[in-house]
Structure 1
Amino acid sequence: MKRLLLDLNVFLDVILDRPPDADVAAALWAAIERGQGHGMVPAHGVTTIFYLLEKARDASFAREGVERLIGVFAVAPVDDNVVRRALALAWPNFEDAVCAAAAEATDCDALVTRDPDGYPNAPLPVIDPAAALSWLTQE
């Protein structure tokens, strides 16, 4: 079974129903929920998602969104080793580096994002949600 760490933008597309990306992101979420893959969210992303959902709507909406999220996706730890690895990647966007390092540390097969250019020389494959969905549904 493929292990995928999803970038925050993919989760937000689903929870906030952001067109035009929500449909494919929701289909990917559903495939993972059906057990066609193992999905992960980086630990630091959970607090960021809560904050953004609360800002977009309210605390109740944010809580429901995070509960829905962790009901389907495992939380990838962000510990000292992950942070040090992210620093060693020396990317301009540190948050992207943390996602890549967390995916690498949890033996993910790929990192899923709408912004593959944000992951230069990533230590694992970086694919968009449509490619991830295709990958999971072909197995």
Structure 2
Amino acid sequence: MKLNELHDNEGATHSRKRVGRGIGSGKGKTGGRGVKGQKSRSGVALNGYEGGQMPLYRRLPKRGFVNIFAKSFNTVSLGRLQQAIDAGRLDASKEIDVAALIAAGIVRRPKDGVRVLGDGEISAALNLNVAGASKSAVEKVEKAGGSVKTA
């Protein structure tokens, strides 16, 4: 196969439909939009709008409680930390905090901190400084000779 022989599969590409180019084209005048009204114009945002009738999302009862002060934590397992240490992305001799985890690519953004969970095994002695840790995670880290400091 040569570069000049490359082409899309049959029917994979469609030529652009030229609307509003005269009545004879079959898509002239209203350009396939029907006739008049809000939907025939550009910039229409009608999701959830029911013509002035009480919308469905307001007619239905609301349930439960949403805590607007709830904190959102990143969760990191001990197995994931061990993987990063084995790959050389995380230095076990230094203190491991949110900034170190972001630099290692384990966490994308800080949110409200990091919570360490105990799934997976850890062999390196880690010095963790995190927002929270599960009991099993603390046990495993201390058993491996490390320490966990929670804020």
Q: Give the structure with higher Rg (CA).
A: 2
TM range (shorter): under 0.3
Structure with greater proportional helix content: 1
Q: More relative contact order in 1 or in 2 (CA 8 Å, sep 6+)?
A: 1
TM-score, normalised by the number of residues in structure 2: 0.19
